[in-house]
Chains A and B, each alone.
Chain A
Amino acid sequence: MYYRIIRGDLRAGKLITLTTLLFVTAAAMLVSLSAILTVNLAGAIDTLMTQAKTPHFMQMHSGELDRARLTAFAEQNGKVDEFQVLEFVNVENARIIIGGKSLADNVQDNGFSTQSSMFDYLLDLDGKAVIPADGELYVPIAYMKDGTAKTGDTAVIAGKEWTVAGFLRDSQMNSLLASSKRFLVSEHDYTAIQASGSTEYLIEFRLKELSMLGAFKNDYTSAGLEANGPSITYPLFKMLNAMSDGLMIAIILLVSLLVVAVAFMCIRFTLLATIERDTREIGVMKAIGLRVSDIKKLYLVKYAGIAALGCALGYALSLVFRGMLLDNIRLYMGGNEKASLTLLLGLGGAVLVFLAITGYVNRVLGRFRRISAAEAVRFGTTQDKSGGARQLRLSANRLLNTNIFLGVKDVLARKSLYVTMLAVIIIAAFVITVPRNLYNTIAAKSFITYMGVGNSDLRLDIQQTDNIAAKAAEVTAVMEKDPSISRYAVLTTESFTVLKEDGAEERIKIELGDHSVFPVKYAKGRAPDAGHEIALSVMNADELGKQTGDVITLKSGGQSLNLTVCGIYSDVTNGGKTAKAAFASQAADVMWSVIYAELVDKTLTGGIAEKYADRFSFAKVSGVDEYVAQTFGPTISSVGTASRVAIVMMLLISVLVTVLFMRLLVAKDRYPIAVMKSLGFTNADLRVQYFARAAAVLAAGIVLGTILANTLGERLAGALIGSFGAASFEFVADPLAAYLFSPLMLACPVLIATIIGTSGTGHITISGHIKE
């Protein structure tokens, strides 16, 4: 009996059995991988934080600091085990040059400190708390990963030279999500660099018990101690460390959910078809007194077999692939191979998939309960609960061709059957549209004004030299007389100190000059005029808590200066934190100058750029197109690549699922297909019916997916771009592409897949299905 059912089933759907096996394998592999990754990540974070002795509570502070008072607090408080104040010099990114390249475009706040003596160690790649020699610089591991620094590189910081001696794991600030990074230098070098930046303090505590943390936080706050800056606790450090790899694990889990869903779909279809085929036998088995659970067992055996095989394969594969995915964790947090636990949990993941599959099969088999012997004999098939579409009557149809009508009606009548395919199409339409629109938007020429770059033709950067103001004047004198240049503007970036509401101070870079010549796009307000106005980048406005109309107080050469915020704009340059103003400055602290120019004849950009580059060797001259290509090119092209990859992936998945779905559907519907044929419907008629079903699902999916992409998707993309500093984001979509080509691009392969998937209708014989 077992043998007959299993063999009959396997024969009937070799392809479907194989596909089911494939998806079960993939699901088991992914779930097992995420289990392995989770254990390793958790273990690695623990090891790192234990080795580094990460503080349980840390208060960042800038400004005055009363060491004696803090020490007294720490000694009196019974919860404190250890206490220290670390110093940290924040150096302007433009003044940090590693291997000849400055970190000016880096979004992190980079700072320097010395090795701690008590806890919160900065560890080298062997997990040891290194103490650098004079002239040695240890660089955050993130800069090794992204290729910013290599061992042996020369680093120039605020004019002083160092050699990159190695890399650091920082249990606090490892993650790119932590917005600061700590470099390590020797005590002696630290003193030398101290004057080149602003000092911040890390007030750190380790408690006797971590569980006292909540109470301790209260103690600290109510003692009214130094608190100008964020405070961070041990659990938060842990979360920061877990975040990026955790995200990867979440994505893997998400994908595995999708895969499990497809596996469920395969199983559901094969089972339903089998049940329909065997209804009469099942009715008879019930009639002779077999229990439902006994009958279930007969069918469960096959799927338990497939699930077991798939899970075993998937588990084995996860062991092969885990190395690849563990690399990142190993790099950032050091190896932590608790081999036996890893293997066990991976196995646990695979077992989970096995249980899910067999559980699902068991549930679908619950339909046996509904088969009554009488019904089985009378209809020969189980009666699906037909949902709705009853109002769609053939006799009332004047509009559609009969075959098309039958197809559409079937979709409406058996909605739950088509949900899987609909979901896949919606996801595909969404995933194809969003990156594509994002790419079109950021690749559009107008987008650079979103990014804080004026729409000009030529750009001269003068930086890392002295006497910047004089040099800029030299250039403009020539431009003034140059007939090929129609307009130009000099924008000089200087560093100022802002007084915040609470009295704290913060450094801010302001680009001074005439901002009306080459305006950027203002999310709110407008460009600053010559008076007491300032425009802030979105990130700065957020950080300073300012709106248009608010007043900002700057300290400049001993005097204070009140400026009204007149506009807020998007900027992705210089880490997104910039400001624009037009007041005359005291030339106190010029960091760099940029001269923008518009040419009479834009086609000559290359030649004119060359001319200026030859003449002014201190300036970096580039065409703006070239500048944009250099600065944003990699981002734009990686979004373009991501979009193309997304399109290909989604098309592949849609085609695969459609072929599979249609095959399953035809297999399930063999009986009604045979009946249709006996009534004189041709194979072509049947293909039209199935085509209409696919087209109905496809149309609904594309419409829903496109709507979602342009609402939810736009908001997601906006949030993503906003996190880099560009605000008021809207898709620049080419309507023809978005509403015609994209849908067609998805529709054509899916419809072709439908034709391939339904070719099986031709092989269904009448005699094989309705002969008595």
Chain B
Amino acid sequence: MKKIIAADHIDKAFGQGIERRKVLNGVSVSISGGEFVSVMGPSGSGKSSLLFAVSGMDTVDGGQVLFDGRELGALKENELADLRRTQMGFVFQQPTLMKNMNLLDNIILPSLRDNRRNVKAITEKARQLMSKTGIAGLEKRDITQVSGGQLQRAGICRALMSSPQILFGDEPTGALNQEAAEGIMSLFADINETGTAVMLVTHDARIAARTGRILFMCDGQIVSELRLPKFRGTELEGRMEQVVTRMRELGI
């Protein structure tokens, strides 16, 4: 499989003067097409920062990131925006939907920027995605009129509209109850099944155990990596056991 992301010794620090703290410390990681990766680690270990760095949403101070062979640091802001819109999808813990718009409008919003003429085709695609993700019929609902899980599904629909190469999720299940979280996780698995790479940040072993490759982070570095066979929906307890054991070994 071809490499989508190749990060090489990236550094990132926040703050000024004595408050300056290194958040990423020479991290290298690569993700290939169709992979299902999760990033685990304690709060503040730099998981989100890694995700933002490899997706070009934030700049890096040192090292370089290749996305689909292009160096992100060399791209202009507009080119980065274009990449985000056409090649990547994002889902965050907070469903970042726009107020004053119904679910359907929220989902088609980024696609309409380039392709206003195809409104019909775009809307059709959005409806298909909505029924695939289990929120068919909620098109006209306001974002305050649906549940958190439904909002998150709408966010996923929006992210999938451009058929991205990779879907990033920063604790996408963090604000959901277990049942809703498991629903979302199987959705991610389904999406991954169709060939889209997925990179999830989480600190929940239950979630990480469903992915095929787990990166463990601590103090701005990837300290370990665990590969698991494809999850078929049956052996979850055993996989969780492995993850937890590894975490205990690492002291996190």
**A-to-B contact residues, CB < 8 Å:** 377-380, 383-384, 386, 389-390, 393-395, 397-398, 401-403, 409-410, 413-414, 672, 675-685, 765-767, 770-772
Contact = CB atoms under 8 A, between A and B. Distances in A.
Provide the main secondary structure of the chain B interface.
Answer: helix
Pick the most buried of B58, B113, B158, B171: most chain A CB atoms within 10 A of its CB.
B113
Contacts of B175: 377-378
B52 A766 contact: yes
Contacts of B22: none
Contacts of B116: 397-398, 401-402
Interface stretch (B91-99, B204-212, B213-221, B225-233): B91-99
Contacts of A413: 100
B113 A772 contact: no
Contacts of B105: 393-395
Nearest to B126: A395
Given A402-B109, A679-B85, A679-B109, 12 more contacts: A394-B109, A398-B119, A402-B112, A672-B98, A680-B110, A681-B81, A682-B82, A766-B57, A770-B96, A771-B52, A772-B171, A772-B174
Q: Which 10 A-B pairs have the closest CB atoms?
A: A680-B85, A680-B84, A394-B105, A767-B58, A675-B96, A413-B100, A682-B81, A679-B110, A386-B100, A402-B112
A413 to B, nearest CB: 4
Nearest to B87: A680
Given A395-B105, A678-B84, A767-B57, A684 B94 contact: no
19 contacts: A380-B94, A383-B144, A386-B142, A389-B100, A394-B105, A394-B108, A394-B112, A395-B119, A401-B116, A675-B96, A676-B98, A679-B110, A681-B81, A681-B85, A683-B77, A765-B58, A767-B49, A767-B57, A771-B170
B163 interface: no
A692 to B, nearest CB: 14
A395 B119 CA distance: 7
Given A765-B58, A766-B58, A771-B48, A383 B84 contact: no
A711 B148 CA distance: 53
B102 A393 contact: yes
Contacts of B113: 402-403, 680-681, 685
Nearest to A679: B110
B84 to A, nearest CB: 4
A383 B99 contact: yes
Nearest to B78: A682
- Most B-side CB within 10 Å, residue of A377, A394, A414: A394
A678 B96 contact: yes
Give the interface size bracket for B toward A: 35 or more
A694 B174 CA distance: 38
A403 B81 CA distance: 15
B203 to A, nearest CB: 10
Interface in B120-161: 123, 142, 144, 148, 158
A409 B78 contact: no
A515 to B, nearest CB: 68
Contacts of A683: 77-78, 81
A409 to B, nearest CB: 7
B236 interface: no
A273 B175 CA distance: 23
Contact of A386 (B85, B92, B99, B148): B99
Contacts of B57: 678, 766-767
Contacts of A681: 81, 85, 110, 113
A327 to B, nearest CB: 54
B165 interface: no
Contact of B123 (A389, A395, A679, A682): A395
B74 interface: no
The residue among B77, B78, B99 with the most chain A CB atoms within 10 A of its own CB is B99
Nearest to A674: B96
Nearest to A389: B100
